[in-house]
Structure 1
Amino acid sequence: MRRFALATLSAALVPLALSLAGCASDAPPPPCPPAGTPAPLDSFTQFAPGGGRDLTEVRFSGRISSVQTICEYDEKGVDIDLAVDIRVERGPADKSRQADLQYFVAVEDGPGNITAKQVFDVAVPFEGNSRRLARREELSLRIPTPADRGFRQTRVLVGFQLSPEQLEFNRRQRP
């Protein structure tokens, strides 16, 4: 699992600790800040070099299929454990049998106000005759309590880190 603190944005691997702490009161704990993937950043397509953009030129494609969260609040902020499910498929132009991709986790505090972002590199090797793979990325992050309004407007965004060409391709594919 990857762990990073949004105050320092340093990443380090740590064991997954998905546990729920008991509450002293009968009140239910507040819900986790919402987490999701912006529509044009939920998928990627990597084409072979050379400019062709038809199906025979696809090396890899993929999609973020789900983002799940578990969180625990304290007086200084919230700890969030994320599970990001990614599906990757080999295309006819692949020769390397390994998809190298990037995804990001960002914190938004109000519409369009990104307060922190970190990009992660992922290598997805394809062994044997595998054409499709599912992979789960597990991360932990700490978000300090915003000073003026709490977590009312806080959202966690997860998406693929795309090149301008990949982003334009995704936008053209949407109805």
Structure 2
Amino acid sequence: MGRLFSNVVSRIPFPSGAYSIVSLVFSGLVLSGCGLIEPEKAPPACPEIIVLKEAEEMTRFQGQGRDLTDVAFEASINNFANVCVLDEETNNLNNQVVVRFELTQGPASDGAARFNYFVAVATHDRKILSRESFDLVAPFEGNRTSVALVDNIFPTIPLRNGKTGDDYIIFIGFELTRSELYYNRTKI
């Protein structure tokens, strides 16, 4: 199947109060695809995006302690969008997936949140076709204790045998250690 992802090309930190700006970005992405569509052609079906429940939040502790004073940062995936365009020459479905993270600095912070998240393309029967991990760093500059971060990725799905975007799922989640996963499971 080969590599389905292109490189991450933009990382835009936003102050946590910039919800209206981020909303405009998401709206613009969705609406920008509409102007590219010829009137007689319906837009392609985009894959469903699912944020895995156990991997939608992360609490990173500093050291072995699990007290509130040991929290380096907390993070959540709190918004996402997908815009797709069908390349009729190659029959590839080119996606732009935008993921928004909200991060809060903890008492044990070193001034930045460093974390990984993954994006996986799968069939509807949950067979993973491709999975890639992305590293992000969110600095807590000045006296900011929270920050929003937006990341763009561009998975390409080769459509074969009459398949459409409806036949695929894009999974998103934080890459968690065993102890972080256990911590999340105790909160659910």
TM-score for both structures, normalised by structure 1 = 0.84
Q: Which amino acid letter does the alignment assign opposite residue 129 of structure 2?
A: T
5 Å-filtered alignment, 1:8-157, equals 8-9=3-4, 11-12=6-7, 14=9, 19-20=32-33, 21-23=36-38, 25=40, 27-49=41-63, 51-75=64-88, 76-94=91-109, 96-147=110-161, 149-157=163-171
More helix by share: 2
Which deviates the most, 134-143 or 145-154? 145-154
Distance 1:44 1:82, change over 3 A: same
Aligned residues: 164
What residue ranges of structure 2 are gaps of 5+ in the alignment? 11-28
**Does structure 2 retain, via aligned residues, the 8 Å contact 1:7–1:144?**
no
Hey, what's the Cα distance between the residues in 1 that align with 2:48 and 2:37?
22
Deviation at 1:120, TM superposition (A): 0.4
Which deviates the most, 27-36 or 63-72? 27-36
Deviation at 1:11, TM superposition (A): 4.2
**Does structure 2 retain, via aligned residues, the 8 Å contact 1:36–1:67?**
no
Q: Which amino acid letter does the alignment assign opposite residue 7 of structure 2?
A: A
Hey, what's the Cα distance between the residues in 2 that align with 1:33 and 1:120?
20
Distance 1:47 1:121, change over 3 A: same
Q: Which amino acid letter does the alignment assign opposite residue 120 of structure 1?
A: F
Distance 1:147 1:163, change over 3 A: farther
| 2:175 pairs with 1:161 | yes
What residue ranges of structure 1 are gaps of 5+ in the alignment? 1-5
